[in-house]
Structure 1
């Protein structure tokens, strides 16, 4: 018996050493975000709404504003692509409590590119302006969805609005140029995240290659309102599915935080991948680290018997967004498809990023 056990142990070592376990990804090291991420509680919840996305921005007075995708149905899919609206919540502190203020963006309900479900909010303050990006669609049925997803932009002098869409209809990006690598992608363009880099405007987005692989792309404009030109190739060298990007600049690097839906990059199914780049144009997997782990890692009272699955494979974060304070990533916001408290609605969570410098 001891001989068999010894042989088995040798076999395991050989498997690891020779790479027979290639299909199982090696877990990445923890990033500076994941090392000391502290769960602070619920940012937004409402018994009448399902939440999916919490994009933060801080105003001149120090108030924190969350732009949140929400809808009245209890289900996530198909409600997110049919009924989503972008609501605005406000708090005196980044940790809340956040109070509903107003609805910033709704679907037009008419024959426009944004007839249905403004979703995936991204908010940035540039100078005196607040810039809000979002996706929407013409028809929530599948097909044509998700190939009909487009990205829009609205600008306001205040986070309370009024919001004015740019150009003639608000749309700043689509997947309809035959010259682009994601032409007629059956994903369209989605999950926008945005950054000003050396006087240019970088709009990152999720899409599909012609081979059907989900990647992040980049469109660049010389002016805030565009036109935005999609670059020649994807910016991420990811394996498998990724989405939910948020971009920020910190200590001479540009970081892109995305979800790793099946763990093929980080080794954590549903964890976050923190991509690192000098120029923001190429993000290599060998430079990436774990952006964050699953929700139970940080919520110490997690009880699997109590947690309620509403959507998704695990109690993971969705649509992560970073709040920068004094040019430092200070807070992480994100909802989960699992209600860890046992309710039948999703809630948005807030985490403090404790950086050891």
Structure 2
């Protein structure tokens, strides 16, 4: 009898261990399962390459896309500008409208577009062309029309490459912003941050700043960063945050294989190829502060288009009548387009 009890106990322990191991897996989200291949779009002009599409419908149902374009003989660190295209549908064809933001002394990059009541809100990476690469900052502009004119905030850069975090470290980088109106009607900007805590190493983390006014000033959340894998010597970037059906969501690029580390099987540092060379992640939160454990948010270009693996990054959602219609993703390979979109079908 005692022997039988021992066997039962051993079996139970084995089952518990196996169960715990199984629970470590990062499952595919219902959002990711809803994604259906769309089309590669927006080829660049000769001598340029396009990146990071931010889509939005206007009040007449016209589709607008703001994105970065960079000269082949230049660098996005110094020469990127934000351009504007329109179309009648995500598949195109697209018509060039204007160069929305450009400067000889600064780079404008990675835009994201939102709307608050009757005002359109554009947030973007803003960097002085003469400063070191790490010193990236964030700007914001507003307009009553997607055709402009756009008014840049008098507080720009609204998030600077400076400031203290709760652990006493200094923020040395703020970029890749995403804008959300919270449940209290305040304005949040989630963004990629880098601090000097791990210097000389630099790890990309996700932080947040808030304001009572669209144009700012924006104040950093005192307990930044909100999401960090720096202790594991890993990072994520390219956040796209939104509020939907009572929950906050954030989609990010899994830049250094955080997924495998969370599953208990980290990829050796010398084997990691940084960038969007793997599926992205999606987080879900009740308050937009405590994000917990992610799920797979989207797959790579190979999954949807059977093409050679390329960097798939910069997620942005196109909304229609309050519902997510398409996920836009930048894709950097030999294809001359800015990237592709995926249709969101039946997400619950």
Q: What is residue 327 of structure 2 aligned with on the other side?
A: 332
Deviates more, 1:291-300 or 1:257-266: 257-266
Q: What does 1:177-256 correspond to in 2, within 5 Å? A: 177-178=163-164, 184-186=170-172, 188-197=173-182, 198-209=184-195, 210-211=197-198, 212-233=202-223, 234-238=225-229, 240-256=234-250
Inter-CA distance 176–40: structure 2 relative to 1 (3 Å threshold): same
The answer for unaligned runs of 5 or more in structure 2 is 1-13, 264-275
CA distance in 1, matches of 2:127, 2:52: 17
Matched, 1:173 2:168: no
Q: Using structure 1 for the length normalisation, give the TM-score.
A: 0.79
CA distance in 2, matches of 1:183, 1:125: 34
Matched, 1:145 2:133: yes
Q: Which has the higher helix share?
A: 2
1:175, 1:183 within 8 Å by CA — same for their partners in 2?
Answer: no
Q: What is residue 95 of structure 1 aligned with on the other side?
A: 91
Q: Deviations over 1:73-127 (max 9, x none)?
A: 16xxx711121100001111133222211111112x3xxxxx3210010111111
Q: Deviations over 1:288-336 (max 9, x none)?
A: 2100111110114x2x4xxxxxxxxx41311111112222221111221
Query: The residue matched to 2:311 in structure 1 has which SS?
Result: coil
2:204, 2:228 within 8 Å by CA — same for their partners in 1?
Answer: no
| Matched positions, count | 308
Q: Deviations over 1:247-281 (max 9, x none)?
A: 11112110010000122226795321101000111
1:182, 1:207 within 8 Å by CA — same for their partners in 2?
Answer: no
1:194, 1:204 within 8 Å by CA — same for their partners in 2?
Answer: yes
Q: What is residue 76 of structure 2 aligned with on the other side?
A: 80
Q: What is residue 9 of structure 1 aligned with on the other side?
A: none
Query: The residue matched to 2:60 in structure 1 has which SS?
Result: coil
The answer for unaligned runs of 5 or more in structure 1 is 1-13, 110-114, 305-313
Q: Using structure 2 for the length normalisation, give the TM-score.
A: 0.81
Inter-CA distance 270–327: structure 2 relative to 1 (3 Å threshold): same
CA distance in 2, matches of 1:263, 1:269: 9
Query: The residue matched to 1:265 in structure 2 has which SS?
Result: helix
Q: What is residue 28 of structure 1 aligned with on the other side?
A: 26
CA distance in 2, matches of 1:85, 1:50: 11
CA deviation after TM superposition for structure 1 residue 215, in Å? 1.1
